C-alpha cells in the first residue's frame, strides 16, 4: 500500500522539489520574481488544504474539511450532499459546529449537523477544536468541534460557473458592498450570495439539485463587528443504500429532500491588546427532511418519512483581564429545540431546553522576556429540563515561547457531555431501519492531551498525543450475520488513544502541507454477531499530503492526497486501504485581471473504498469552470 502511494505521488513530489527555493518569500503565495503573469489572490476557505472547492457541486462549509488533517469526512456521494464529520475517531453525533459565538446543531441526528446554509465566502477558515478548547467554547459535542468566524465584508465580488460529467451544471455569485460614508463610528457593509448546482450523478438514482441563498448586513468599528445573517438552502439528492444498507440487500436508490433556514445575529468586541474580548449572539434554525426509498414504498409512511426540527438559541463567551497576569474566561448559552415527525414518535419527549455555563481562571507567569507559563483551571455546567445536570472540569498548563524552536507546549485535561438525538431516542425499538432506545443516557467524555508547536526553520509543525474515555457514547450496532437485522441505538463505552501531527512550509513556487493521524480504540461491546456501524468505523492510519505549485505562465497546480488504513470492521466490503487524490489545474488568464479557468478531478484513481460501510463509493468525477473575482 505505501509503495503504491509513493509511486503515485513521486512525480508530484519531485516536481515540487524542483520548483522549490531555499529562501522563503515574505508572502508565501507571491509569484516568483520575473513571472510575466501576476497571479491574483486565490479564494482561500482553508489554508490547510490545497483545493478549496469540490468538482461535483458548489462549495459549502464542509468542503474545506474533506482533506483537513484533523477531520475525517465520511461521505455518501459527495461531501456536500450528505457527509458525517468526525474528529479524532469520534462519530457524526459527537462533532459540533459553531459560527461566531453560536454553537449550531441539529437535534434530530448528527447526520445533519453540517447543514449550514452559509456560503464560505462569508466565513473565515475553519478552526478545529479539541480538548479544553472544545470544552470551553463548544456545546453538546464530546469529541471535538468545527468553528467558523465571520469574514469582514469588502467591496467586490466573485462569479463562478462550471460543468462536468454526469450532466453537471453549477454556478455561484457573491457580491459585497461597503458604504462609502460611515454611520457615526460604524462602517456599514452588506453582501449576498446565490448558488445553484444540478447533475444526474455517477450512479443510477444519484441525481442532485441544490440551491442556496445568503444575505448579510455588517457593522464594523475599530474594536467591534456585528453581523446580521439570513440563509436558506434546499437540497434534493439520492444515493443507492445511503442509509438503509444491509449486507445482502441490492442497491436501491434512497432519496433525501432537505430544506434548511438559518437566521442569526453575532456581535464581537475586542477589549484591548491582551487578547480580551466578548462576543454574543442569537439564532433560529429550521430544518426539514423528507427521506424515502422509492422502490419500497408500498403504503404511505413506510420507507417514506418526514421530520422537521426547530432550534432557537443564544450564547456568549469572552475573556477579561482582572489584574496583570490574571484573566477570567467565561461563557454560557441556552438552546431550545423541538421535532415534528411522522415516525419518531416512540420516545419520552419531542421538545427540550438545554443550557450551559463556563467559568475558568487563567494565570500567566513570566519566566523571561520571551517565555510565559499559563495555567488555566475551571469548570462548565450542562443542564436540561430533560436530564440531570453535569459538571465538567477543565485544566491546562501551557508554556509559550516567542523565540526558538519550541513555540508552545501544553498538557490539558477536559470533560465534555452530550444528550442523545431524537433519531436515537424516539425511533421505534422494534421496527424500522434505525431502531431507537427511549432510555439512552447522557454521554460523557474525558480527554487528556499533550501537545507542542514548533518552528523548525521555515517549517511550522504541531503535534499531540491524546487519550479519550467515552462513557455512554451513542453508537449504532448491527448484526452482520442476520439478513433482516437493523441498526440499533445503544450506549457504549469506548477508549480512544492517538497521535496527530501537521507540518507546513512555503517557498516562492510551492506550498507543502502534510498531516498524519494514528488512532486505536478499545471496546467491550462488539463481537462476531454485533458490529459497530459508526464508532468503530475509523482510520487507524491517515496521512494527508497537499501541494500548491505555482508553475509559471499563470498556471497553478493544486493537489490533495489522502492515504488511509481503516480499522477492521466486519461490515466493510471493499477493503481497508485507500488512496484518494483530488487534483486541480488553474490558469490565471493574462490581461484579464481576476479571471481564472480551472479543471478539477476528484477520486483521481477511481478507487472503490466505502467511506461508510455497505454504502457504495463515489466514482471518479471531473469538472471544468471559470471564476471571475473583482
pLDDT in tens, 144-155: 999 999 999 999
pLDDT bin (cut points 50, 70, 90) of residue 38 is very low
- pLDDT of res. 482: 74
* Across 43-47, 130-134, 427-431, least confident range: 43-47
Q: Residue 298: is its pLDDT beyond 90? A: no
Closest CA to 286 of 62, 424, 115: 115
Closest CA to 380 of 356, 349, 413: 356
- pLDDT of res. 303: 76
Environment class of residue 8 by beta-carbon count within 10 Å: exposed (0-12), middle (13-18) or buried (19+)?
Answer: middle
DSSP codes, 209-233: EEEEEEEEEEEE-SSEEEEEEEEEE
* Separation of alpha carbons 417 and 407, rounded Å: 31
* Separation of alpha carbons 98 and 137, rounded Å: 9
Q: Which helix (H) or strand (E) covers residue 465, if one does?
A: strand 459-478
Mean pLDDT (whole number) for 501-511 = 96
Ordered structural domains, the chain, with CATH: 2-629 (2.40.170.20)
Mean pLDDT of the chain: 90
Q: Cα dihedral sign for 135, 96, 311, 473?
A: negative
What's phi and psi for 437, nearest 5 deg?
A: -150, 110
Q: Cα dihedral sign for 414, 415, 420, 424?
A: positive
pLDDT tens figures, 357-387: 999 999 999 999 999 999 999 999 999 999 9
398 neighbors 373 (Cβ within 8 angstroms): yes
- pLDDT of res. 160: 96
Return the bridge partners of 462, or none.
453, 502
Per the structure block, which three cell numbers stand in for 429?
425499538
pLDDT tens figures, 46-87: 989 999 999 999 999 999 999 999 999 999 889 999 989 999
* Across 250-264, 442-456, 541-555, least confident range: 250-264
pLDDT tens figures, 11-21: 333 333 333 33
Q: Cα dihedral sign for 39, 41, 43, 47?
A: positive
- pLDDT of res. 2: 42
Secondary structure (3-state) at 239: strand
Q: CA 95 from chain center: how many Å? A: 8
559 neighbors 547 (Cβ within 8 angstroms): yes
Number of helical (H) and strand (E) elements in the chain, helices listed first: 3, 30
Per the structure block, which three cell numbers stand in for 573?
466490503
Closest CA to 496 of 221, 144, 228: 144
Mean pLDDT (whole number) for 103-117 = 95
Amino acid at each position: 500500500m505505501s509503495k503504491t502511494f509513493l509511486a503515485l505521488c513521486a512525480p508530484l513530489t519531485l516536481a515540487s522539489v524542483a520548483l522549490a527555493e531555499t529562501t522563503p518569500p515574505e508572502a508565501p503565495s507571491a509569484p516568483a520574481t520575473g513571472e510575466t503573469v501576476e497571479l491574483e489572490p486565490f479564494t482561500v476557505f482553508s489554508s490547510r488544504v490545497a483545493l478549496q472547492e469540490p468538482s461535483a457541486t458548489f462549495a459549502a462549509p464542509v468542503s474545506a474539511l474533506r482533506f483537513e488533517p484533523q477531520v475525517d469526512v465520511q461521505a455518501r456521494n459527495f461531501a456536500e450532499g450528505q457527509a458525517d464529520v468526525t474528529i479524532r475517531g469520534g462519530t457524526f453525533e459527537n462533532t459540533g459546529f459553531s459560527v461566531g459565538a453560536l454553537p449550531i446543531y441539529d437535534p434530530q441526528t448528527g447526520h445533519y449537523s453540517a447543514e449550514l446554509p452559509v456560503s464560505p465566502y462569508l466565513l473565515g477558515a475553519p478552526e478545529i477544536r479539541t480538548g479544553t478548547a472544545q470544552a470551553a467554547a463548544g456545546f453538546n459535542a464530546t469529541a471535538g468541534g468545527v468553528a467558523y468566524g465571520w469574514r469582514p465584508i469588502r467591496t467586490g465580488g466573485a462569479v463562478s460557473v462550471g460543468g462536468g460529467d454526469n450532466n453537471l451544471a453549477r454556478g455561484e455569485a457573491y457580491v459585497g458592498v461597503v458604504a462609502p460614508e460611515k454611520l457615526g463610528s460604524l462602517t456599514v457593509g452588506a453582501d449576498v450570495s446565490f448558488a445553484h448546482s444540478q447533475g444526474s450523478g455517477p450512479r443510477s438514482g444519484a441525481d442532485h439539485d441544490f440551491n442556496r441563498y445568503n444575505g448579510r448586513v455588517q457593522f464594523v468599528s475599530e474594536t467591534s463587528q456585528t453581523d446580521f445573517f439570513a440563509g436558506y438552502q434546499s437540497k434534493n439528492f439520492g444515493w443507492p443504500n445511503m442509509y438503509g444498507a444491509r449486507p445482502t440487500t441490492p442497491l436501491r436508490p434512497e432519496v433525501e429532500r432537505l430544506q434548511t433556514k438559518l437566521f442569526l445575529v453575532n456581535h464581537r468586541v475586542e477589549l484591548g491588546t491582551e487578547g480580551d474580548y466578548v462576543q454574543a449572539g442569537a439564532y433560529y434554525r429550521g430544518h426539514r427532511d423528507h427521506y424515502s426509498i422509492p422502490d419500497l414504498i408500498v403504503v404511505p409512511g413506510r420507507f417514506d418519512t418526514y421530520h422537521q426540527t426547530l432550534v432557537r438559541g443564544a450564547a456568549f463567551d469572552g475573556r477579561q483581564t482582572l489584574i496583570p497576569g490574571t484573566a477570567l474566561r467565561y461563557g454560557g448559552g441556552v438552546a431550545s429545540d423541538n421535532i415534528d415527525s411522522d415516525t419518531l414518535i416512540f420516545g419520552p419527549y419531542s421538545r427540550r431546553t438545554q443550557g450551559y455555563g463556563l467559568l475558568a481562571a487563567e494565570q500567566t507567569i513570566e519566566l523571561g522576556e520571551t517565555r510565559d507559563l499559563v495555567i488555566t483551571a475551571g469548570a462548565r455546567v450542562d443542564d436540561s429540563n430533560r436530564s440531570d445536570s453535569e459538571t465538567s472540569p477543565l485544566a491546562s498548563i501551557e508554556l509559550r515561547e516567542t523565540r526558538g524552536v519550541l513555540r508552545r507546549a501544553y498538557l490539558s485535561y477536559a470533560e465534555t457531555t452530550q444528550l442523545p438525538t431524537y433519531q436515537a431516542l424516539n425511533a421505534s425499538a422494534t421496527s424500522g431501519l434505525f431502531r431507537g432506545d427511549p432510555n439512552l443516557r447522557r454521554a460523557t467524555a474525558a480527554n487528556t492531551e499533550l501537545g507542542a508547536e514548533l518552528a523548525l526553520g521555515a517549517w511550522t509543525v504541531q503535534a499531540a498525543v491524546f487519550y479519550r474515555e467515552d462513557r455512554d457514547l451513542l453508537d449504532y450496532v448491527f448484526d452482520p450475520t442476520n439478513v433482516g437485522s437493523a441498526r440499533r441505538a445503544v450506549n457504549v463505552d469506548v477508549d480512544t488513544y492517538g497521535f496527530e501531527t501537521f507540518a507546513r512550509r512555503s517557498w516562492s513556487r510551492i506550498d507543502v502541507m502534510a498531516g498524519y493521524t494514528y488512532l486505536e480504540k478499545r471496546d467491550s461491546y462488539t463481537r462476531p454477531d454485533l458490529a459497530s456501524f459508526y464508532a468503530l468505523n475509523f482510520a487507524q492510519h491517515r496521512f494527508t499530503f497537499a501541494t500548491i505549485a505555482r508553475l509559471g505562465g499563470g498556471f497553478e497546480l493544486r493537489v490533495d492526497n489522502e492515504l488511509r488504513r481503516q480499522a477492521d470492521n466486519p461490515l466493510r466490503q471493499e477493503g481497508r486501504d485507500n488512496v484518494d487524490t483530488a487534483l486541480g489545474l488553474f490558469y490565471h488568464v493574462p490581461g484579464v485581471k481576476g479571471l481564472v479557468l480551472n479543471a478539477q478531478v476528484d477520486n483521481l484513481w477511481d478507487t472503490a473504498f466505502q467511506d461508510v460501510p455497505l454504502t457504495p463509493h463515489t466514482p471518479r468525477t471531473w469538472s471544468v469552470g471559470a471564476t471571475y473575482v473583482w
